[in-house]
Amino acid sequence: MADSAPRRRSRASAGLPPITADKIIDAAVELTGERGLDGWSIRQIATRLDVWPGVIAHHVGDREAVVMGVTDRVISRIPVPGDDVPWRDWFRSVMSEGRTVLREYPGVARRLCVVGPNVPSALPTIDAGIRVLMKAGFGEQAPEVYRFLFNSAFALVAVEDDRGSFPTARADMGRAMAAFAEDDSRPGLAAAGTVARGRGTDPRDIAAQETEFFHFTLERSLDGAEAMLTSR
Amino acid sequence: MADSAPRRRSRASAGLPPITADKIIDAAVELTGERGLDGWSIRQIATRLDVWPGVIAHHVGDREAVVMGVTDRVISRIPVPGDDVPWRDWFRSVMSEGRTVLREYPGVARRLCVVGPNVPSALPTIDAGIRVLMKAGFGEQAPEVYRFLFNSAFALVAVEDDRGSFPTARADMGRAMAAFAEDDSRPGLAAAGTVARGRGTDPRDIAAQETEFFHFTLERSLDGAEAMLTSR
DNA sequence: ACCTGAACACCGTTCAAGT
DNA sequence: ACCTGAACACCGTTCAAGT
């Protein structure tokens, strides 16, 4: 098995460089890209680095610490737009690009939503986003509005990630809804069924539908925030 | 240990009634209320029912099947408002009451967001919600708007649940933000810090802040949907 | 049909002992 | 300081054997 224990007698005696916390996180980020944040074990990281499982605890800490290291590294890859653009464009940009990065590392979006500003690499984005909202006239509500917009977008990415780990879920949902198209006794479900029926079901179609719904969510959330400005 | 194997020789020979799928889901729902959907094991359910672990697979299926059974039961406890109320009130009601139920069973909100209409007991709510939106004038966009509102509310509950299983996360976040209140070089974080500083940090305060943010999110999402009506 | 009892292939974490 | 190697207390799932 590829996930079994290493064979070598000693790293030092074999002339190998010592393992570092950084190299452990590197391997964990790689595995997260392949299988998602819940798709690997401490033992698999150890096998990939050709060391015994206890070594990970020694250099990084428990599984939680490794996960936080991965999260911080992935978040740092999300580009922060310049703060000279209109606020709606700023959020559209950071969230679309953020989604692209996060979807490459399934499970990280969820973590980001949960721990938020506890991830050091998220701080520059939070600072810039709140500044942009203050400049747009949200005043002291800027932090709350930031959190709302941020959560709307990335909690949805977290759901998309989760759905990806139920291989059948996406297709099942579409098929289940489409079956209601002729249900006259339940007009709400019938309407949803009619919409579902008109849509493709192969993976490319589903990916396009997900992207479209993400942007729909984004625009509705921005509209919801904007209503705070116009109703003053 | 309370989670160890049963001792009795045979249920039948001891005059005990046979285990049913329903009783297994009962026990799983109970454990979910105590520890959350990720807080119990198949073996713990077996111990609580005083049977061997293989019995769960025999009557219900694998862990996934048990989780879906729990999800369906919990969702069925969310009351569906009458469809004679204005659409905003309808959603306010179902989402506030839904949150109350879901927070009693941590982890179920996440499942609901992921599998959606695949949970049979969610269908009456979906039907009624889309009908309410059609009556309000959303036309063929009603299913998409329903999904948006639904996701906004319950994906946030899922994040609240997750945060609950990081005992330190909530307090850490507040403290981390408050520390930025004097950071003149980062005015965005400073603004968030000032807000955080003015807030209580004991569990009751934090729960109240979470409820407040939930309602903020709800109203902003409803505003975002309403903008589709007024801009026609 | 229902359940027992064990086996299998995994987990994360800990820690004494070696180098 | 760093790593080995093993042990511990768990998992979910499977399945032959009993009743």
* B126 vs A162, A192, A225: nearest CB: A192
For residue B117 the two structure tokens come to: 């209409």
pLDDT at A201: 84
Alpha helices, DSSP H, located in chain B: 21-35, 42-49, 54-59, 63-75, 87-103, 108-115, 123-135, 142-164, 169-178, 187-197, 203-230
Angstrom distance, B65 CA to C19 C1': 50
Using alpha carbons, select from A16, A15, A5 the residue that is nearest to residue A51: A5
- Considering chain B, what is the average pLDDT of its residues? 93
- Taking an 8 Å cut-off on Cβ atoms, the answer to whether B156 and A155 are in contact is yes
pLDDT at A9: 63
Confidence band, pLDDT 50/70/90 cuts, at residue B192: very high
DSSP string, B8-45: -S-TTTTTPPPP-HHHHHHHHHHHHHHH-TTS--HHHH
pLDDT at A21: 98
Which residue is closest to C1 in terms of CA–C1' distance?
Answer: B18
Q: Mapping DSSP to helix (H, G, I), strand (E, B) and coil, where does residue A129 land? A: helix
Low-confidence winner among A201-210, B87-96, B122-131 (lowest mean pLDDT): A201-210
To the question of domain B21-74 being in CATH 1.10.10.60, the answer is: yes
**E strand or H helix that includes residue A83:** none
pLDDT at B222: 98
Q: How many CB atoms lie within 10 A of CB B214?
A: 18
Q: Give dist(CA B164, CA A27) in Å, integer.
A: 29
Q: Give dist(CA B35, CA B32) in Å, integer.
A: 5
The residue with greater pLDDT, B226 or A11, is B226
Asked if A108 contacts A70 with a C-beta cutoff of 8 angstroms, the reply is: yes
Task: Report residue B231: phi and psi, to 5°.
Answer: -90, 15
| Mean pLDDT to the nearest integer, B110-121 | 94
Asked if A92 contacts A225 with a C-beta cutoff of 8 angstroms, the reply is: no
pLDDT at B9: 63
Tell the burial category of B232 from Cβ atoms under 10 Å away from its Cβ (0-12, 13-18, 19+): exposed
Q: Which residues of A touch B228 (CB under 8 A)?
A: 220, 223
| Mean pLDDT to the nearest integer, B158-183 | 88
| Mean pLDDT to the nearest integer, B165-172 | 78
Low-confidence winner among A163-167, A193-197, B65-69, B149-153 (lowest mean pLDDT): A163-167
Q: Which residues of B touch A123 (CB under 8 A)?
A: 186, 189
Size of interface A-B (CB pairs under 8 A): 175
Using alpha carbons, select from B179, B172, B177, B113 the residue that is nearest to residue B148: B113
pLDDT at B170: 80
What is residue A19's DSSP assignment? P
pLDDT at B2: 45
Angstrom distance, A56 CA to C14 C1': 12
CA within 13 Å, CB half, B177 = 27
- C-alpha distances in angstroms, B115 versus A169, A176, A183, B75? 6, 11, 21, 12
Angstrom distance, B38 CA to C2 C1': 28
Bases of chain C below 7 A from a protein C-beta are 2-7, 10-16, 19
Task: Report residue B221: phi and psi, to 5°.
Answer: -65, -40
Our CA-based measurement puts residue B172 at a distance from the nearest CA of chain A, in whole angstroms, of: 7
Q: Give dist(CA B104, CA B101) in Å, integer.
A: 5
Using alpha carbons, select from B74, B15, B21 the residue that is nearest to residue B49: B21
Can you say how many angstroms the Cα of residue B103 is from the centroid of all Cα atoms in its chain? Answer: 5
Asked if A145 contacts A132 with a C-beta cutoff of 8 angstroms, the reply is: no
Residue spans per domain, chain B: 21-74, 76-165+202-231
What is residue B232's DSSP assignment? -
pLDDT at A150: 97
Residues of chain A with pLDDT under 50: 1-2, 4, 7
Q: Which residues of B touch A127 (CB under 8 A)?
A: 186-189
Angstrom distance, B111 CA to C12 C1': 25
